[in-house]
Protein backbone atom coordinates (compact mmCIF):
# COMPACT_ATOMS: atom_id res chain seq x y z
CA UNK A 1 0.00 0.00 0.00
CA UNK A 2 1.19 3.52 -0.63
CA UNK A 3 2.68 5.38 2.31
CA UNK A 4 1.20 8.73 1.33
CA UNK A 5 -2.52 9.24 0.83
CA UNK A 6 -4.45 11.87 -1.06
CA UNK A 7 -7.74 10.80 0.54
CA UNK A 8 -9.41 12.31 3.57
CA UNK A 9 -6.62 11.96 6.13
CA UNK A 10 -7.28 14.38 8.95
CA UNK A 11 -6.30 14.01 12.57
CA UNK A 12 -8.53 15.08 15.47
CA UNK A 13 -11.02 16.60 13.04
CA UNK A 14 -14.67 15.76 12.58
CA UNK A 15 -15.64 14.42 9.19
CA UNK A 16 -19.30 14.53 8.24
CA UNK A 17 -21.42 12.23 6.16
CA UNK A 18 -20.46 13.83 2.82
CA UNK A 19 -16.77 13.27 3.53
CA UNK A 20 -17.48 9.70 4.67
CA UNK A 21 -19.33 9.02 1.41
CA UNK A 22 -16.24 10.10 -0.54
CA UNK A 23 -14.39 7.15 1.02
CA UNK A 24 -16.98 4.45 1.81
CA UNK A 25 -19.12 3.00 -1.00
CA UNK A 26 -22.09 2.25 1.31
CA UNK A 27 -25.35 4.17 0.96
CA UNK A 28 -28.78 4.23 2.62
CA UNK A 29 -30.01 2.04 4.17
CA UNK A 30 -26.65 0.38 4.76
CA UNK A 31 -24.30 3.27 5.56
CA UNK A 32 -24.03 2.89 9.32
CA UNK A 33 -21.44 5.56 10.20
CA UNK A 34 -22.67 9.12 10.68
CA UNK A 35 -19.47 10.91 11.62
CA UNK A 36 -15.74 10.40 12.07
CA UNK A 37 -14.58 12.29 15.16
CA UNK A 38 -10.92 11.24 15.21
CA UNK A 39 -8.62 9.81 12.58
CA UNK A 40 -4.96 9.03 12.94
CA UNK A 41 -3.99 7.58 9.56
CA UNK A 42 -2.39 4.13 9.71
CA UNK A 43 -3.27 3.86 13.42
CA UNK A 44 -6.84 4.40 14.61
CA UNK A 45 -10.25 5.92 13.93
CA UNK A 46 -13.26 6.88 16.05
CA UNK A 47 -16.68 6.88 14.41
CA UNK A 48 -20.20 7.73 15.56
CA UNK A 49 -23.55 6.09 14.76
CA UNK A 50 -26.69 7.76 16.08
CA UNK A 51 -29.30 5.06 16.62
CA UNK A 52 -32.86 6.28 16.03
CA UNK A 53 -36.25 4.61 16.04
CA UNK A 54 -36.41 5.39 12.31
CA UNK A 55 -33.90 2.63 11.51
CA UNK A 56 -35.65 0.18 9.18
CA UNK A 57 -34.51 -2.89 11.15
CA UNK A 58 -36.48 -1.85 14.24
CA UNK A 59 -39.75 -2.75 12.47
CA UNK A 60 -38.99 -6.40 13.01
CA UNK A 61 -36.24 -6.50 15.66
CA UNK A 62 -38.26 -6.54 17.88
CA UNK A 63 -41.76 -5.00 17.80
CA UNK A 64 -42.39 -3.47 21.21
CA UNK A 65 -38.77 -4.08 22.31
CA UNK A 66 -36.47 -2.47 19.70
CA UNK A 67 -32.87 -3.72 19.90
CA UNK A 68 -30.19 -3.07 17.28
CA UNK A 69 -29.10 -6.41 15.81
CA UNK A 70 -25.59 -7.40 16.89
CA UNK A 71 -24.61 -8.14 13.31
CA UNK A 72 -25.37 -4.50 12.41
CA UNK A 73 -23.27 -3.25 15.32
CA UNK A 74 -20.43 -5.34 13.90
CA UNK A 75 -21.15 -4.00 10.40
CA UNK A 76 -21.00 -0.39 11.64
CA UNK A 77 -17.74 -1.21 13.42
CA UNK A 78 -16.42 -2.80 10.22
CA UNK A 79 -17.42 0.27 8.17
CA UNK A 80 -15.55 2.48 10.64
CA UNK A 81 -12.50 0.23 10.27
CA UNK A 82 -12.99 0.23 6.51
CA UNK A 83 -12.79 4.03 6.54
CA UNK A 84 -9.44 3.77 8.33
CA UNK A 85 -8.19 1.12 5.93
CA UNK A 86 -9.33 2.95 2.77
CA UNK A 87 -7.49 6.03 3.99
CA UNK A 88 -4.26 4.14 3.32
CA UNK A 89 -5.09 4.26 -0.41
CA UNK A 90 -4.28 7.08 -2.83
CA UNK A 91 -7.65 6.64 -4.57
CA UNK A 92 -10.18 5.01 -2.23
CA UNK A 93 -12.96 5.48 -4.80
CA UNK A 94 -11.44 2.66 -6.87
CA UNK A 95 -11.25 0.24 -3.94
CA UNK A 96 -13.51 -1.87 -1.72
CA UNK A 97 -12.92 -3.43 1.67
CA UNK A 98 -13.95 -7.06 2.02
CA UNK A 99 -14.11 -8.36 5.56
CA UNK A 100 -12.56 -11.80 5.67
CA UNK A 101 -12.90 -12.60 9.35
CA UNK A 102 -14.47 -11.63 12.63
CA UNK A 103 -12.98 -13.15 15.76
CA UNK A 104 -13.69 -12.93 19.46
CA UNK A 105 -16.89 -10.94 19.00
CA UNK A 106 -18.64 -10.22 22.28
CA UNK A 107 -21.89 -8.37 22.88
CA UNK A 108 -22.13 -6.88 26.34
CA UNK A 109 -25.27 -4.71 26.40
CA UNK A 110 -28.26 -4.13 24.09
CA UNK A 111 -28.26 -1.04 21.88
CA UNK A 112 -31.62 0.72 21.66
CA UNK A 113 -33.13 3.77 19.92
CA UNK A 114 -31.70 6.98 21.35
CA UNK A 115 -28.24 5.48 21.95
CA UNK A 116 -25.17 6.93 20.31
CA UNK A 117 -22.60 4.31 19.38
CA UNK A 118 -18.94 5.31 19.45
CA UNK A 119 -16.66 2.96 17.56
CA UNK A 120 -12.95 2.88 18.34
CA UNK A 121 -11.00 0.86 15.79
CA UNK A 122 -7.24 0.46 15.67
CA UNK A 123 -4.84 -1.35 13.39
CA UNK A 124 -3.21 -4.39 14.93
CA UNK A 125 -1.37 -5.53 11.80
CA UNK A 126 -1.20 -4.23 8.24
CA UNK A 127 0.58 -6.25 5.59
CA UNK A 128 0.15 -5.40 1.93
CA UNK A 129 -3.61 -5.38 1.35
CA UNK A 130 -4.61 -7.41 4.45
CA UNK A 131 -5.35 -5.78 7.76
CA UNK A 132 -6.21 -6.99 11.24
CA UNK A 133 -8.02 -4.51 13.50
CA UNK A 134 -9.40 -4.37 17.02
CA UNK A 135 -12.77 -2.69 17.36
CA UNK A 136 -14.78 -1.65 20.37
CA UNK A 137 -18.24 -0.08 20.50
CA UNK A 138 -19.41 2.09 23.37
CA UNK A 139 -22.63 3.73 24.47
CA UNK A 140 -21.58 6.54 26.76
CA UNK A 141 -18.69 4.94 28.68
CA UNK A 142 -20.03 1.37 28.61
CA UNK A 143 -18.58 -1.11 26.13
CA UNK A 144 -21.43 -2.78 24.25
CA UNK A 145 -19.43 -4.82 21.72
CA UNK A 146 -15.87 -5.76 20.83
CA UNK A 147 -14.29 -7.83 18.07
CA UNK A 148 -11.17 -8.45 16.03
CA UNK A 149 -11.75 -7.78 12.33
CA UNK A 150 -9.70 -8.96 9.37
CA UNK A 151 -10.15 -7.27 6.00
CA UNK A 152 -8.67 -7.07 2.52
CA UNK A 153 -8.57 -4.08 0.19
CA UNK A 154 -9.54 -5.05 -3.36
CA UNK A 155 -10.01 -3.20 -6.65
CA UNK A 156 -13.57 -2.43 -7.68
CA UNK A 157 -14.56 -4.51 -10.67
Among this protein's residues, is 26 annotated catalytic?
no
For residue 135, the cross-strand partners are 121, 147
CA distances to 25, 53, 111, 115, 119 from 67, in Å: 26, 10, 6, 10, 18
- Alpha carbon distance 84, 106 (integer Å): 22
- Catalytic residue, from 10, 26, 44, 61: name it: 61
- Alpha carbon distance 20, 92 (integer Å): 11
Q: Quick check: 20 and 33 in contact, CB under 8 A?
A: yes
- Which residues are known catalytic residues? 61
Amino acid sequence: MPEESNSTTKTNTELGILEIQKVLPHRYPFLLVDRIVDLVPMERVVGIKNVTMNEPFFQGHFPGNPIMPGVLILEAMAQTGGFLLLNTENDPSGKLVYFTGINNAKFRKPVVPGDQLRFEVEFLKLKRNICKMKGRAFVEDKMVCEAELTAAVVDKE
